[in-house]
Structure 1
Amino acid sequence: MKKKILLLLAVTIGLGASGAAAWYFGNRHAANSETLTLYGNVDIRQVQLAFNGSERIAKMLVKEGDRVNKGQLLAMLDTATLQQKVRKAEADSEAARLAAVNAASTYRRTRMLVDQHFVAQQQADDARTASDAAHAGAHAAQAGLELARRALADASLYAPDNGIIQERILEPGDMASPQRPVYTLAMTDPLWVRAYVKESDLGRIRPGMHAAVATDSYPNKRYNGWLGYISPTAEFTPKSVETTEVRSSLVYQVRIFVCNPQGELRLGMPATVTIALGQPAATNNEHCRNP
């Protein structure tokens, strides 16, 4: 009798444990279905900076690791020859301007003499032709002066945007040209996490959804972000897929833009992205402002 009671009690406990386990795992699955977790790496844009002109470098003002702001002076070419060209172009432009003024005055005087029948019409026509040519020469000289000034301005290299100098390629004394990069600039804004989404999860996300980004380097911090881009094409698979088995394994690149005011996120850093599903879309500023 006691054995039957103990057996019945064991069965009851087993059924209860099975039910509890089923409830636990079922609820955990339901909870997990409300969020989407992605794994990726921090990515940024990189640009190679070069001078527009060709001359030897006189000064390099920043080095690897320096943070620079948009419009900041980064390097300068030797400007001695360029300054001489500007001075010569200024002199040529002034001379051409005076020549045009004199030619115009000569034409006006000749025109008056023609009206008074002191000179032939042919002389007035010649004076007008000379005046037109002088004005054309003045315009050409002014254009040459603007080109010389532009070349002098191009002897200074400025940062196109905020960022970090990733690589200093040339040094003072090197010959610069538009084809030779001087610096590699890592642009810190925008900054995003590049991750991939399965085709089966593609219909659960949309641009503008809020996301939380975590990294191993700062495990106790969460960075605010938002889903900014979903690739229109699959990657790492053929373009046309015929079978449902392969179709379910398609992945699409997404970019989760991140607010990084402290500058802690670095290029290539592994990151975990959590997106709460079923949320309303928000603007970029709202994501950065609201934790």
Structure 2
Amino acid sequence: MGTAATLPRGVMIVRKVREQPRRLLPLAVVAMALLVWAGYRAWVAHQPYTWAGTVEARDIAVGSRVGGRVKDVLVREGDRVEPGQPLVVLEAGDLPAQRLQAEGQLLQAQAALDKLRGQGHTGGTGSLAEQVARARAELTATQVALEKAELDARRARTLFQQQVTTRAELDTAESSLRQARAERDARRARLQELEQGTDADVRAQQGLVETARGRLEAIDVALGELSIRAPVAARVESLDLRPGDLLAANATAATLVEDEQLYVRIYVPETHLGRLRPGSEVPVRVDSFPERTFTGVVENIASQGEYTPRNLQTPDERASQVFATRIGLREDGRRLLRAGMAAYVSVPK
């Protein structure tokens, strides 16, 4: 204290002036921090909501139901194909020979059916329909003969009672009557047998015709399966076949990606679900084109929420209920973007 008292007055004033900014420095730092925090809060308040998602696409696995050895590969990975365009052609093998056999069997079965129906030229006893007509005519003739025999027998009995004819003549007339009845019964039975067998035989032969026709059509389908074609307009994503490779039946020959079905899948928290509506446009950004914004359209919002979407990894994110939302891409996005890219969708607050 004595030392301070011995200092000149001017020195003491200079010392106080130098110590005053040191006391104000913490206050300035706190004020600066408050200004930065307030600015950050204001900046965050004006930033849009952003949700991360993935570019996805509907893919189609094409192949052949019959399989076989690869004859030609007509496209490459990355090519764009049109509906019905051939992609891969398989060797025919013995299918043409099988078709010839099936066609011959169909012709034979149809000829037999025509014979049963009396539509073709026949030899021998004729078609079944002709036999039925002949049996019906023969039955009519025997019926007429039976009526005459009955009339002769009645006349012979009358004459025998009047003692005009002998017993032998009566026996002859009655024997002729019995023979006419037996002939009538035989003809009737034959006609019934033919009539009952006609429909059954025709139906059975018709079944053979349909079986042969079905086999022929199945072979035609198999021949059509030798050319693997694109069902819709798409881009060839993967195709790893070469001429000579063996492709199993129902195996995937190529994978196609539908360009019109390229979309972004995001998961929107329940609290922000009202900011998106089906049909509204939203900006889409990807890391591959950082300076460019693509146009997306909200196509669908899931009607049921979920808690563990695949693109949310932290416990805090998984604890919130979210709704899967599909964002369709416009022409520019479908042309440049690829399935699997990370995408970001933003909406204003």
CA distance in structure 2 between the aligned counterparts of 1:93 and 1:236, rounded to whole angstroms? 60
TM-score with structure 2 length normalisation? 0.63
Would you tell me which structure has more helix in proportion to its own residues?
Answer: 2
Give the direction of change, closer, same or farther, for the CA distance of 1:200–1:102 in structure 2 (3 Å limit): same
* Equivalent runs, 1:31-110 vs 2, <5 Å: 31-32=46-47, 35-105=48-118, 106-110=127-131
The equivalent residue for 1:273 is: 345
The equivalent residue for 2:170 is: none
Question: How far off is 1:246 after superposition?
Answer: 7.8
Give the direction of change, closer, same or farther, for the CA distance of 1:174–1:157 in structure 2 (3 Å limit): same
Would you tell me which structure has more strand in proportion to its own residues?
Answer: 1
- What is the count of residue pairs matched by the alignment? 256
Question: How far off is 1:154 after superposition?
Answer: 1.3
8 A contact 2:132–2:195 mirrored in 1: yes
CA distance in structure 2 between the aligned counterparts of 1:123 and 1:201, rounded to whole angstroms? 83
Is 1:115 matched with 2:136? Answer: yes
The equivalent residue for 2:306 is: 234
8 A contact 1:114–1:124 mirrored in 2: no
The equivalent residue for 1:155 is: 226
Q: 5+ residue gaps in structure 2?
A: 1-30, 119-126, 140-186, 310-315
CA distance in structure 2 between the aligned counterparts of 1:162 and 1:270, rounded to whole angstroms? 25
8 A contact 2:308–2:318 mirrored in 1: no
- Higher alpha-carbon deviation: 80-89 or 148-157: 80-89
Question: How far off is 1:205 after superposition?
Answer: 2.3
8 A contact 2:54–2:340 mirrored in 1: yes
The equivalent residue for 2:259 is: 188
Give the direction of change, closer, same or farther, for the CA distance of 1:93–1:201 in structure 2 (3 Å limit): same
Where does structure 1 differ by over 6 angstroms across 4 or more consecutive aligned residues? 24-27, 245-248
- CA RMSD across the alignment: 3.2
The equivalent residue for 1:172 is: 243
Deviations 1:2-42 (A, max 9, x none): xxxxxxxxxxxxx9xx89x96x767655544xx43222221
CA distance in structure 1 between the aligned counterparts of 2:219 and 2:328, rounded to whole angstroms? 43
Paired residue secondary structure (1:249): coil
Deviations 1:161-186 (A, max 9, x none): 22222221333222222342111222
TM-score with structure 1 length normalisation? 0.75
* Equivalent runs, 1:238-277 vs 2, <5 Å: 249-261=320-332, 263-276=335-348
Percent of aligned positions with the same letter in both sequences?
A: 27
Q: 5+ residue gaps in structure 1?
A: 1-14, 238-244, 278-291
